[in-house]
Copies of this chain bind each other. A is one copy, B any other.
Amino acid sequence: MTEHLVSVSFQPSGRTVDVPAGTDLFSLMVNLGLKHANTCGGKGKCGKCKVKIEEGLHGLNPPTETELKHLLPEEIGRGYRLACAVQIPPVPFLSVRSPSSGPSTQKLQTEGLAVSVPPDPAVKKYTIRLDRSGSFEEEGVADELQERYGIVCLMDYAALTMLPEAIERGKGCVTCTVYRGETITAVEPGDTTGKCLGFAADIGTTKLAVYLVDLRSGEQLAFSASPNPQVLYGDDVMSRITFAMAGKGNLLTMQKTLLKEIARLVSGCCVQAGTDPRWVYEGCIVGNTCMIQVFLGISPKNLAFFPYRNLFRKGVTVGVKELPVRLPVHRTARIYTLPLIAGFVGADTVAARLAVELNDFREPRLLLDIGTNTEVVLSDGNGSISCSCASGPAFEGMHITYGMKADSSSIDRVSIDPETFEVAFHTIDGAKPAGICGSGIASAIAEMLKTGIIGPNGKFRNDLSGSTERIKTVDGKAVEFVLAWKHETAVNTDISISQKDVVEVQKAKAAIYAGCTLLMRQKGITADQIQSLVVAGAFGQFVDKGSVQTIGMFPEVAPGRVHEVGNAAGTGARIALASLPKREEAERIAHTTKYYELATDPDFTGIYARAMLFPQRRDHDAGN
C-alpha cells in the first residue's frame, strides 16, 4: 500500500503534520488538540468549524450542502470551508487557517501534576546482534541479553513467531521487547530501541483521558480526552451497573463502547505525537472499581447490592488480544489496571495517592478526588482510611440545566452585585458563554447564597423577585436566576441556575461533606488538625476556594491548607506506567488502605441531611 501523505500546516501556529490523503480535517484537528468552537461534534449541523484553506485549495472536494447553507458564496470563493466537510486532498501541501488553531483550552481534563519519577518501566527494549553461525537462535537471543545486559529472560510464544523474520530482515541485528525483565514479548528487526511508548488512561465515570508517554524518559508526548461514551448507559455508576445487569450482552456492549473510545483517543495521541501505534507496548488504566470491572469485562454485579463488595484488589494484567476491541497498539501489548482499594474506591484513588505521595506524610491529610463518584482518603501516621461518596455529576456540569463540561465557552466564575443583583461572569477563554461548568456552578451558587438569592436551605427567597428581572418566577414563586441574558450567550437563550440545579449541588456537596466527616470521626481527627486538604479532579483545579468554603463542600480547613492538584488519578496512571517500583507501591497502597462503607454508618443519613443545608450566613451577613 503506497499511501499518499499530505503535509498539512495550521495557521497561525504553523504546526505541521503529515497525514494520509482522505483524512477527515475535523477529526484531525480534534486529534491534534486544535479547538473548534463547534457544539455539534463534527456532524455538519452547527457551521462553527469554519476554516480557511490557504494552500492546496485546488484539490478539495466540492462544497457540501451543509457548507452551502452555512457559508456565503463569496466566503467559499475565498477558501472558507467547514472542517467537518473537508477531506484532506491528495496534494503535496495543505495550509489551513483557523481562528482557533492554537492549542486547545478545552478543560474537560487537566494534565495533572508533572511526573518526576525516575523511569523504570515494565517494558524495556534491548538491541542485540546474533552470531549467525550458531544454532538455536532463541537461545542465542537469551544468551546475548544476559551477557550484554545482565537480564535473564524467556521468550514467549508471540515473540518466537516473530523471530525468523526479525533475524532475516535485521540481518542478525534484532531488538527485543522485555516485559518486567522476565519475558521477551516481541522481537523486531534492527535497532528499534528508540521507539518504546506506553499509554496511561484515566477512565472517569463521565470523562476519559489518555496520555501517550515515552517509556524511556517518562516524558508525556501527547494527551487526548473525551466524554466517557458509557454515559449512554447512565450518568452515574449505579445506573450503569443496572444496565450491565439488565440483559445478556449489555456488559460486553458497555465494554466495547469504552474500548472503542479509548482506542480512538490512543490513536489521536499517536497522530499528535507523529508516531506509529505499533510502538506502543503497554497501557496503564485507572478508574473507579466499576469502570475497571467494565473495562475488563467483569460483571459489576458485586457492586450493585449492599455491602458493595469488590471481587478483587490486585492489579490485573491482560494482553490486548484478550480484549474484545482491538486497541491501536503493538499486538503483544499488555494492559495493566491498577489495583483497587474496596467498594467503589478503585484504581483512580490508588493512582491519586501515588501522585500526591500521601503515604509519605505523618500529619493528617485529606485527599478528595472529585468526580461523579468522589473518593476521600484520610491519612495519618496510623495509616489510611477511604470512602466513596455518590456525589453525582453536578460538578462535572451534568444534571444541571445549563451545565456543560469545562471548555472555552463555559462560565467558570460568577460575581453577583449584592445591591443590584447584576451579574459579572467569566468564561474560561473569554468566549460567549454556552453554559456553566462545575466551577461556575459552585461560584454561582456561592454568590447566590452570599447575596441572599437563595437561603441556607437552598430555597429561592421569594421576597427578592421584585428587585431584579434576573429572578424568574412561576406562579409567584422564585425558581430561577439568570446569569447571562440570551443576547450575551452563544446559545440564543438565557443561561440560568434553577431551583433544581441548587438541589443537585446541595446533594453533591452534602455527600462529599458527610464522607469527609465520617472518616474524620473514624480516626478521631478534627478539621483543624488536617494539615493538608488535597483536591484532585478537574473541578478542583478551576474552582475558587472561597466559593467552595461558602457552600460548605469540604470540612472547615483553613484555605491556605487546601491544595488543588488537577487530575491526580491520570498523573498516578502515568507514574505507574513509567515506574515498576511505583506500581508495586500502588499494590501496597491498595492492600493497606482501609475502606469505610458509609452506608453502614448509622449517623450517615443524619449528617448527610444536615450537610444539605448551606453552612454559614456569615459571608452573606458580612456582604449586607
Contacts and interface: CB of A to CB of B under 8 A. Distances in A.
Given A138-B314, A321-B322, A342-B135, A160 B296 contact: yes
Contact of A158 (B135, B165, B309, B322): B322
A161 B168 CA distance: 40
A545 interface: no
Given A163-B298, A164-B301, A165-B299, A309 B157 contact: no
Contacts of A107: none
A138 B313 contact: yes
B311 A160 contact: yes
Nearest to A155: B312
Contacts of A164: 298-299, 301-302, 311
Contacts of A342: 135-136
Interface in A167-184: 168
B312 A139 contact: yes
Contacts of A317: 157
A161 B321 contact: no
Contact of A135 (B137, B301, B309, B318): B309
Nearest to A137: B311
Contact of A157 (B139, B157, B322): B322
A316 interface: yes
A161 B297 contact: yes
Of A135, A301, A318, most buried by chain B (CB within 10 Å of CB) is A135
B165 A311 contact: no
Interface in A109-163: 135-139, 154-155, 157-158, 160-161, 163
A309 B163 CA distance: 14
Interface string A209-251: 0000000000000000000000000000000000000000000
A408 interface: no
B135 A298 contact: no
Contacts of A31: none
Contacts of A139: 312-314
B135 A310 contact: yes
A415 B317 CA distance: 67
A165 B251 CA distance: 13
A122 to B, nearest CB: 16
Nearest to A158: B322
Interface residues of A, number: 34
A310 B139 CA distance: 11
Contacts of A298: 160-161, 163-164
Contacts of A168: 301
Contacts of A312: 136-139, 155, 160, 163
Of A136, A299, A302, most buried by chain B (CB within 10 Å of CB) is A136
A614 B60 CA distance: 82
A20 to B, nearest CB: 24
Contacts of A296: 157, 160-161
Of A301, A307, A311, most buried by chain B (CB within 10 Å of CB) is A311
A326 to B, nearest CB: 14
A155 B160 CA distance: 25
Contacts of A135: 307, 309-310, 342
Contacts of A309: 135-137
A292 to B, nearest CB: 11
A138 B301 CA distance: 15
B321 A136 contact: no
A316 B136 contact: no
Nearest to A308: B135
A198 to B, nearest CB: 19
Contacts of A316: 157, 160
Contacts of A154: 314
Interface in A435-469: none
8 nearest A-B pairs in the assembled complex, by CB-CB distance: A138-B312, A157-B318, A135-B309, A164-B299, A137-B311, A161-B298, A136-B313, A157-B316
Interface of A: 135-139, 154-155, 157-158, 160-161, 163-165, 168, 296-299, 301-302, 307, 309-314, 316-318, 321-322, 342
30 contacts: A135-B342, A136-B309, A136-B310, A136-B311, A136-B342, A137-B302, A137-B309, A137-B312, A138-B313, A138-B314, A139-B312, A139-B313, A154-B314, A157-B296, A157-B318, A158-B322, A160-B296, A160-B298, A160-B311, A160-B312, A160-B316, A161-B296, A163-B298, A163-B311, A163-B312, A164-B298, A164-B302, A164-B311, A165-B299, A168-B301
Given A138-B312, A160-B311, 6 more contacts: A136-B310, A136-B312, A157-B316, A161-B298, A163-B312, A321-B322
